[in-house]
Amino acid sequence: MSQPETQAVKPSAWLRKTAGPGRRWTLLAIVAGLLLGLALVLQADRLAYVVSGLVEGRGGLADYSAEISLLVLAVCLRALFGFLREWAGVRASLSVRQALRQELLVKLDRLGPGFTHRRQSGELSTLLLEQVEALDGFIARYLPQMAQAVGLPLIILLFVLPQNWAVALIFILTAPLVPLFMALVGMKAADANRRNFQVLANLSSYLLDVIQGLPTLKLFQRSESEAATIARVSEEFRLKTMEVLRLAFLSSAVLEFFASVSIALTAVYLGFSFLGQLGFGAWEGDITLYQALFILLLAPEFYLPLRELGTQYHAKQEAVAASEKLMELLDEAEHQAESGSLAAPDAPINIRFEQVSLTYPGAEQAVLSGLDLSIEPGQPVAIAGPSGVGKSSLMNLLLGFYPLSQGRILINGQELVQLDRDSWLSRVAWVSQHTTLFSGTLRENLLLADPDADDVRLRRVCDAAHVTEFLDRLPQGLDTRVEEAGAGLSGGQIQRIALARALLKDAPVLLLDEPTANLDRESELLILQALEAFARDRTVLILSHRDATLLAAKHRFRLRHGRLEVLSGEAGGEL
């Protein structure tokens, strides 16, 4: 679906379209609900017949064995169809949420790191988890209930009308009151859910930031003030949640009130008919005890689907509120560089930037302007410059995370945009200044670079990256578990693991963004020696502020105002 088409779709229509993968399960839930209604009519009919017969003296209980058997069968069928309806609804919801999460992940993959780096991970996590989960009630219960709210009352009405037209008229006149007030209360519920989701996204983002920065907060003795802030944000979320629940209970109370009044009106009519005060409604003669019992048993069931729809209408409004953010993500313009179809060349690889310019979408000032640079195998290139000058943007262009505004990047004479992205990235090993370690063993984190590597190769790269210095102190060596984001390891240890992972990939192109960050001087010199040996026949680009790291390169530049300036001689001075 194109972006303009998606933007033109209303949330309700988008939700129904999104429910497509679960359509067959939803249909099964609807059919099961309608069959449950027929079983209900059979149960009311046989129960009214048996009770009226016993009260009027038409035989004893033993004379109604066939009717009692049908009554038991009807109860069993109701239980079976009720279970089938709930099970099918859950299956529909599960299939839709799985498909939607897959679509969102594919969209995030197409948007690329250039987009995700600008968004808080807590906000994206809330979107993928909580807001997709908010569609559960809409898919599993509201959609089947919509059909049942029409079908079940019609089924009951078809059986009640031949018995008494006055009661059928009461049903027809009072039934619209339930969905009317359901909609009135539901509109307020949608606004409350939108505010609640926004507060939840803010809270998730803030909590994740606090957890990731907890050591820094403790170091600067700011943990107590942050705890007060968390308490304030949590209280705001609690109040918004209570606002949503208040509206939900209000909606239920209103629907129960009108349904109870309608049932009471039916009971009053039947009571006055038996007293002889009302003589209309029955098609022939006076109303019988069987007819009255049959109608009274079905009256609550006539309004029950409408009341349940009112209850599930809150789930619809919650889904509508959640869908707005989901649609916004799916509508996001994709600025990642295009991927071609050509296979990336094998080593050695020569990289050339020709008049490369980059302007971010929505920005006026160019980050890079008319940049020329050549990186050859065995000739490491280092680029220095203050934060925010565009060093990381240069590397992101080379990785294909952003499209060029102008110029071209050549890989062995072939334009980068013509290369298949996966094929090109398989030739690149990248060490970011913000290394990601995943929950699992240290071995599993290293094997992400090469799943087939044996222990000999793992030990070799660990020695080269000086991971061995602390590896032997870990309780289980390579099989020691690493917590999410490397919790329990120092910044320097994480950086060495990242270098070892890059060395294990053994790619012809090595991109290093602050490779010696968080390392002491001795460890830095050891790492640089390993990199010097590793870079002899590889294409290496280094971004760094540190003099020793810059001196490890044969060509050094400073990035200033979007252009490169040659750094000659020592790397000292202003970088």
Same domain, 290 and 398: no
Maximum Cα–Cα distance for the chain, whole Å?
A: 116
- Is pLDDT at 41 greater than 60 in this prediction? yes
Same domain, 195 and 324: yes
Report d(CA 367, CA 393) in Å as an integer.
8
Domain boundary among 278, 297, 331: 331
For residue 366, is it within any domain?
yes
**In this predicted structure, which of 145-159, 192-206, 386-400 has the lowest mean pLDDT?**
192-206
Closest CA to 355 of 337, 373, 372: 372
Report d(CA 93, CA 101) in Å as an integer.
12
The residues, any chain, with a CB within 8 Å of residue 145's CB and separated by 6 or more, are 33, 305, 308, 309, 312
| Phi, psi angle pair for 366, to nearest 5° | -75, 140
* Highest mean predicted confidence (pLDDT) among 31-45, 311-325, 546-560: 31-45
- Is pLDDT at 344 greater than 90 in this prediction? no
Same domain, 299 and 380: no
Report d(CA 452, CA 80) in Å as an integer.
51
For residue 312, is it within any domain?
yes
Pairing of strands 381-384, 406-411: unpaired
Closest CA to 360 of 329, 405, 416: 405
- Is pLDDT at 575 greater than 70 in this prediction? no
- Is pLDDT at 357 greater than 80 in this prediction? yes
pTM value surpassing 0.75: no
For residue 389, is it within any domain?
yes
Same domain, 322 and 387: no
Same domain, 404 and 293: no
Report d(CA 543, CA 511) in Å as an integer.
8
- Is pLDDT at 188 greater than 80 in this prediction? no
- Is pLDDT at 290 greater than 50 in this prediction? yes
Report d(CA 200, CA 237) in Å as an integer.
6
User: Distance between the two ends of the chain, CA-based, in angstroms?
Assistant: 47
For residue 341, is it within any domain?
no
Angle at 473 between CA 471 and CA 474, to 5 degrees: 70
* Highest mean predicted confidence (pLDDT) among 240-244, 292-296, 492-496, 550-554: 292-296
Same domain, 321 and 230: yes
Residue 487: how many other CB atoms lie within 10 Å:
14
| pLDDT computed for residue 337 by the predictor | 60
For residue 146, is it within any domain?
yes
* Highest mean predicted confidence (pLDDT) among 73-87, 134-148, 444-458, 480-494: 73-87
Query: Distances in Å between the alpha carbon of 479 and those of 31, 421, 451, 471?
Result: 53, 33, 15, 10
More confident residue, 62 or 545: 62
- Is pLDDT at 7 greater than 50 in this prediction? no
- Is pLDDT at 386 greater than 80 in this prediction? no
Contact call for residues 421 and 409 (beta carbons, < 8 A): no
Domain boundary among 280, 296, 331: 331
pLDDT mean across residues, the chain: 79
Report d(CA 141, CA 538) in Å as an integer.
59
In which residue are the tokens 């960050």 written?
A: 517
Q: What is the tens place of the pLDDT at every residue in 422-446?
A: 888 888 888 877 777 777 888 888 8
Q: What is the mean pLDDT of residues 160-171?
A: 86
Same domain, 307 and 387: no
Q: What is the mean pLDDT of residues 209-222?
A: 70
Pairing of strands 509-513, 381-384: unpaired
Same domain, 312 and 435: no
Pairing of strands 563-566, 509-513: unpaired
Same domain, 294 and 389: no
Same domain, 463 and 500: yes
Class of residue 31 by CB neighbours under 10 A (exposed 0-12, middle 13-18, buried 19+): middle
Under the banding of pLDDT at 50, 70 and 90, the label for residue 449 is confident
Paired residues of 555 in beta bridges: 381
| pLDDT computed for residue 231 by the predictor | 80
| pLDDT computed for residue 6 by the predictor | 46
For residue 344, is it within any domain?
no
Strand residues in 235-390 grouped as ranges (E): 351-358, 368-375, 381-384
**In this predicted structure, which of 246-255, 268-277, 506-515 has the lowest mean pLDDT?**
246-255
Q: How many domains does the chain have?
A: 2
Under the banding of pLDDT at 50, 70 and 90, the label for residue 8 is low
For residue 575, is it within any domain?
no
Contact call for residues 374 and 555 (beta carbons, < 8 A): no
Q: What is the tens place of the pLDDT at every residue in 77-123?
A: 999 999 999 999 999 999 999 999 898 888 887 777 767 766 666 66
Same domain, 315 and 366: no
CATH of the domain at 443: 3.40.50.300
Contact call for residues 520 and 526 (beta carbons, < 8 A): no
Same domain, 177 and 307: yes
For residue 127, is it within any domain?
yes
Closest CA to 511 of 533, 534, 543: 543
**In this predicted structure, which of 205-214, 283-292, 527-536 has the lowest mean pLDDT?**
205-214
Pairing of strands 509-513, 539-543: parallel
Could you give the dihedral angle defined by the CA atoms of residues 223, 225, 231 and 235, in that order, rounded to the nearest 10 degrees? -150
CATH of the domain at 65: 1.20.1560.10
Burial per residue of 327-351, b for 16 or more beta-carbon CB atoms within 10 angstroms, e otherwise = bebbbeeebbbebbeeebbeeebeb
Domain boundary among 297, 331, 365: 331
Under the banding of pLDDT at 50, 70 and 90, the label for residue 72 is very high
Domain housing 453:
351-566
